[in-house]
Structure 1
Amino acid sequence: MELRDYLRILRRRWLLIATLTLLVVGAAAAWTFTSTPQYQSTARVFVSTSAGDSGETAGAAYQGGLFSQQRVTSYADLVGKSRELAEWVIDDLDVDLTAAELLDEVETTVVPETVIIDLSVTDPSPTMAQALAQSYATALSDLVRRLETPAGASVPLITASIVDSASLPTVPVAPQPVRNLGLAVVLGLLLGFGVAVLRELLDTTIKSPDDLRETSDAPLLGTIGYDPSIRTEPLVTSLASHAPRVEAFRVLRTNLQFVDVDTTTKVFVVTSAVPGEGKTTTAVNLAITLAQAGQKTLLIECDLRRPKASLALGLDNSVGVTTVLVGKVAFEDALQEHSVSGLTVMGSGAVPPNPAELLQSKAMAEMLTRAKDRFDTIIIDAPPLLPVTDAALLSVQADGAIVVAAHGKTTREQLSQAQDRLAQVDAELVGLILNMTPSRRRGGYGYGYGYGYGYGYAPEPAVEAPKGKRRNKATAQTTD
């Protein structure tokens, strides 16, 4: 991964990183401010050889210093491990501690290249820490004297002298709020960024035009922003003329004009890889936007399994595609007009038991031919590509398919499989629409209009009307 990839992850996952950082800092703060303060007292012990006579040479003194340095490490280690020494201190002070507990409170450090031992004791009580450190230093001095006095002699070879008595601590050494919280911030950031990178690597959903370009060679026709109010106001006719979502569909309409410029009448199938990506509302609003521009536009509701386009427009779908295909109603009699936009609509008709067979029938081809004679642009709302084959079959009879991908939902694998479905029947993929893009990505998807909108930036999405479920009894398959 390159630097820009990490920066993109940081921009996308900043909320996750911040949340984990706050959690770590909160846990560290809770531990820090609920921990019992610990005080540390230190006594300093000087280890040396016994003084010789005045005629002692410099070489002998040097040898004695080396001998002391060799011994001092052993005594420092002995302090932290000797149960006998710990029990002596406990008996001396008559404290309610076990030898193991006291050894956990003791720490010894040898000052580098010296014969000085720093003996520290940590305890919740400052006076107890001082008493224990002083007692330990005294006990060490006595122990060294006993161990280093040869049998029959009265003068030890090595002495341990207390040069600094244990002091009374006034400031706790633990917990350290500044250090703990600082380390928590660093650890939280590292943890958060690590989790963000891991999620990014495991997350294969499409979140940007770059992701689309990496998955498909088809052009991006437009982006539609996310809007939680889409379920109550799905149509662009209910919005102000300069609302961001309206502008986004105008951009989509403009880009669509450059597809097959030599073709007089254009037929596009609007579909998606899987359900719930907003293909129906995208198809409806695109058709409305085309009609508002003065084009003679027909919206055909060819999702014969879960028809929702007519419902979104407030029209009756009891008569439509299926009734025309079986010859019960004439083509012209099945057309309805959406009075607000002037859009001509053909509903789905009754839900048939065999949608795929009807859509690839000769009657369907003849119906599209008649539609081309009357309209400039025909938008076909088709089912998703992966669950059923209907959209692929329709795309063969049209000028191509427009695939809607939902930001953060459609995966690269799903989009790739949808393209494969179209390629298997030699249908053309006209372009892609990135739907439900987050509004916070201002200007992230193209050039700005100069009026507060970015190309494709629209803080409202085109999503499908409220979901319902209908079970096709003939196929025993629940469609979404």
Structure 2
Amino acid sequence: MTVADLFRAIKRHWILEIILFVVTVGAVAGFTFTATPMYSAQIQLMPKATASADASTAQSSSAAASSAAAQLANYIEVVQSDAVLQPTIDNLGLHETVPQLRKLVVAENVTGTTLLDITVTYPNAKDTTLILNEVAKQLNKQVSADASDMLTLTTVQKPVEPTLPSSPNIIANMAIGVVAALVVAVLGAFLRELADNNIHAQTDITNAVNAPILASIPKSFTVAGHVPAVIVKPRGHAAEEFRRLCTNLSFVENGNEDRPDNDHSNVIIVTSAVPGEGKTSVSVNLAAVYAEKGESVLLIDADARHPSVAKALGLNNAVGLVKLLAGDVDARTAVQRYWKPEMQVLPVEETSTSNVILGSNVMRDMVDQATRHYDHVIIDTAPIQVSNDASVFARSGGTMLLVVSQNVGQKKALRNTVRELKVAHVRIGGVAFNRVAHERSRKGNYYYYEESEVKNRRTKASTGDSSQNSASRNARRGRRTTADGR
């Protein structure tokens, strides 16, 4: 994952990040504000030669002074010994045990000196100084009891009763909590992105497919009755993207790596990795764009397991591809016209043996004839993860168009599809990124077209704007009309 991918993941999963941030900060705040306040006090002691030492014996005094530094390490251990802590508990009537009190008492040597700092941290401010003084008293008893040391401990700095708790440190804790929350939020977005199998951005496609993205079909393209965009919204964003797709397809290579030059250069095989990515919608709209340009096109529904073209266009698929290949009907009966004379549709009847029929010599001969009679032949095939029909057609030549839907397409399925096509020596000509939540800044001009149409419809609503209904009726006039000799 690149830095750009990480930023996209952060942007995409912002809701999760906010939740993680709030939960983390809330947890830190809850711990901070519910924790028992602890108060700390400190006393500073210094070893000193005892008054009983023989003052006339300079050597003894010097020895006592020089041993002070060496004894500091022992004094630190004595501070936390039972000999000091147990009398402290008994004298003050504390409820803590020796091990519990030991955790609250810390002794350390001030670096470079013979000073001994003792710190006590306790829930009660007044008791903190009492415990500290008692610990110092008991320590001095232990030191004085050892006559060989000729030392005693004098107080250099007396303890001061604390007025504010030493912990929890609200400011420090909340600062750490905010930083930790940011880290958790970013990490959560990163892990969510790694676990997310859906395709969201173009990079998800380009990371798996070595083919150009020819168009980005907007998600907002939803028209009742599935009427092609160029019919119902000829100036809309979707119509422009389908025209862009049509233009870009003329620049890509055919799908058979073993046969770069063949007579199927005008064949487009439309498929997807998994069902539900909108391949039929793309096929129908692509055919309508060719018809709009005045170029003849035959749209063949080759997904016999799940026929969709006839349903999308409101045509009857009682007679179609299966009966045509079986010789039960001729092309004039099976092929139907839609919208314009240039747009011919060959629906398919539902059958479970489609792979046998579609891979037959009769099917290949039919496609060969269609390529000679039409400017373009579009074959809507089953998803690759459902059937390899698309590979069969692509092996005979033509351009494979892979439809990938945002938030529906799956990364793993797409990788598997690319792998299967590579094994079959089939090249993906290009990708149509479908149902994309497009950005205004990138497609500003197209928004002008769409938004102006929306405003017009709202303005004319009271007078009965019938432009869309008229377009739909014009499209339906051609339904169920047989082909004119093609």
Q: TM-score, normalised by structure 2?
A: 0.76
Structure 2 CA distance, aligned partners of 1:206 and 1:62? 82
Q: Per the alignment, do residues 343 and 164 of structure 1 end up closer, same or farther by CA in structure 2, a change over 3 Å counting?
A: farther
Q: Match for 2:445: what amino acid? A: Y
**Which residue of structure 2 lines up, in the alignment, with residue 368 of structure 1?**
367
- Say yes or no: does 1:255 pair with 2:252: no
Distance in 1 (alpha carbons) for counterparts of 2:244 and 2:93 = 86
Q: What displacement does 1:424 show?
A: 4.8
2:150 match: 157
SS of match in other structure, 1:37 = coil
CA distance change for structure 1 residues 26 and 157 in 2, over 3 Å: closer, same or farther?
A: same
Moved more, 242-251 or 169-178: 242-251
Q: Which residue of 2 aligns with 1:120?
A: 119
Partner of 1:9: 6
| Structure 2 counterpart of 1:329 | 329
Question: 182-191 or 260-269, which moves further after superposition?
Answer: 260-269
Superposed counterparts of 1:160-199, under 5 Å: 160-194=153-187
Spell out, residue by residue over 1:376-419, the C-alpha distance to the aligned partner (whole angstroms, 9 max, x if none).
22221111123322111122345121122345665666445434
Partners of 1:248 and 1:235 lie apart in 2 by 16
* Letter aligned with residue 401 of structure 2: I
Q: Deviations over 1:203-243 (max 9, x none)?
A: 7876554554454433332233555x859786653975554
**In 1, are the aligned partners of 2:54 and 2:61 still within 8 Å (CA)?**
no
Any unmatched runs of 5+ in structure 2?
255-260, 448-486
Distance 1:309 1:66 in 2: 101
Q: Distance in 2 between matches of 1:409 and 1:310?
A: 23
> What residue number does 2:287 align with?
287
Q: Please say if residues 273 and 409 of structure 2, whose CA atoms lie closer than 8 Å, have aligned partners that are also in contact.
A: yes
1:451: which partner in 2? Answer: 445
Secondary structure of residue in 2 paired with 1:139: helix
Alpha carbons of structure 1 residues 179 and 324: separation in structure 2 relative to 1, 3 Å: same
Q: Does 2:387 align with 1:393? A: no
Q: Distance in 2 between matches of 1:236 and 1:124?
A: 76
**AA at the equivalent of 1:145:** S
Letter in 2 for 1:270: V
Of 200, 214, 218, the residue aligned with 1:221 is 214
Q: What secondary structure is seen at the aligned counterpart in 2 of 1:160?
A: strand
| Aligned-pair CA distance for 1:79 | 1.9
Change (3 A) 1:205 1:353: closer
SS in 1 for 2:147: coil
Which structure has the highest helix share of the two? Answer: 2
- CA drift at 1:139: 1.9
**Does structure 2 conserve the Cα–Cα contact (< 8 Å) formed by 1:130 and 1:166?**
yes
Kindly indicate whether the alpha-carbon contact (under 8 Å) linking 2:78 and 2:139 is maintained by their aligned counterparts in 1: no
Pairs within 5 Å for 1:6-405: 6-14=3-11, 15=14, 19-50=19-50, 64-80=64-80, 82-146=81-145, 148-150=146-148, 157-194=150-187, 208-210=201-203, 212-226=205-219, 237=229, 240-241=233-234, 243-259=236-252, 266-339=266-339, 343-349=343-349, 351-405=350-404
Shift of 1:200: 5.8
Q: Per the alignment, do residues 76 and 383 of structure 1 end up closer, same or farther by CA in structure 2, a change over 3 Å counting?
A: same
Structure 1's unaligned 5+ residue stretches are 151-155, 454-480
Name the amino acid aligned to 1:10: F
| Backbone CA RMSD of aligned residues | 3.6
Structure 1 distance, partners of 2:135, 2:389, is 87
Name the CA shift for 1:93/1:426 in 2 (closer, same or farther; >3 Å).
closer
Q: Distance in 1 between matches of 2:42 and 2:348?
A: 88
> Structure 2 vs 1, CA of residues 322 and 135 (structure 1 numbering), >3 Å: closer, same or farther?
same
Within 1, Cα distance between the matches of 2:341 and 2:177? 58
Give the Cα–Cα distance (whole angstroms) in 1 for the partners of residues 225 and 142 of structure 2: 88
User: 1:312 deviation in Å?
Assistant: 2.6
Instruction: Determine the structure 2 residue equivalent to 1:467.
Output: none
Q: Which amino acid aligns with 1:292?
A: E
- Give the drift of 1:54: 6.5
Distance 2:295 2:19 in 1: 50
Native 8 Å contact 1:236 1:245 kept in 2: no
Q: Structure 1 residues 85 and 273 mapped into 2: Cα distance closer, same or farther (>3 Å)? A: same
CA contact (8 A) 1:48 1:68 kept: yes
1:143 & 1:439 partners in 2: Cα distance? 80
Distance in 2 between residues matched to 1:244 and 1:201, nearest whole Å: 32
Q: What CA deviation, in whole Å up to 9, does each residue of 1:103-138 have, x standing for no partner? A: 222222321122222222222221222222222222
Give how far 1:101 is off: 1.9
Give the CA deviation at 1:310.
2.5
Q: What percent of counterpart residues are identical?
A: 28
Shift of 1:358: 0.8
Distance change (3 Å), C-alpha of 1:69 and 1:197? farther
Query: In the superposition, relative to structure 1, how do residues 7 and 268 fare at CA in structure 2: closer, same or farther (>3 Å)?
Result: closer
Q: Give CA-to-partner distance per residue, 1:38-93, whole Å, 9 cap, x none.
A: 11122222223336666777x9877655421221222123323x123222111111
How much does 1:187 deviate? 3.1
Rate the CA distance shift 1:112–1:390 in 2: closer, same or farther, 3 A.
same
CA contact (8 A) 1:138 1:162 kept: no
Letter in 2 for 1:149: A
When structure 1 is superposed on structure 2, of 238-247 and 279-288 the one drifting more is: 238-247
Question: Does the CA-based 8 Å contact 2:228-2:284 persist in structure 1?
Answer: no
Contact persistence 2:197–2:410 (CA under 8 A): yes
Write out per-residue CA displacement over residues 150-189 of structure 1, whole angstroms, 9 at most, x where no aligned residue: 4xxxxx6121122333222111111112212222333344
Separation in 2 of the partners of 1:424 and 1:322? Answer: 29
| 1:434 aligned counterpart, secondary structure | strand
Once the two structures are TM-superposed, the CA of residue 9 in structure 1 deviates from its matched residue by: 1.5
**The 10-residue stretch of structure 1 (13-22 or 201-210) with the greater mean CA deviation from structure 2:** 201-210
Deviation at 1:355, TM superposition (A): 0.3
Structure 1 residues 55, 193: CA separation in 2 closer, same or farther (over 3 Å shift)?
A: farther
1:180 partner amino acid: N
The one-letter amino acid of 1:362's match is N
Q: How many residue pairs are counted as aligned between the two chains?
A: 435
- CA–CA separation in structure 2 for the residues paired with 1:198 and 1:427: 34
Deviation at 1:256, TM superposition (A): 1.4
Tell me the amino acid that sits aligned with residue 181 of structure 1. Answer: M
Q: Is the 8 A contact 2:218 2:438 kept in 1?
A: yes
Displacement of 1:271:
0.8
Determine the C-alpha separation between the residues in 2 that align with 1:342 and 1:66.
111
Mapped contact 2:265–2:399 kept (Cα < 8 A): no
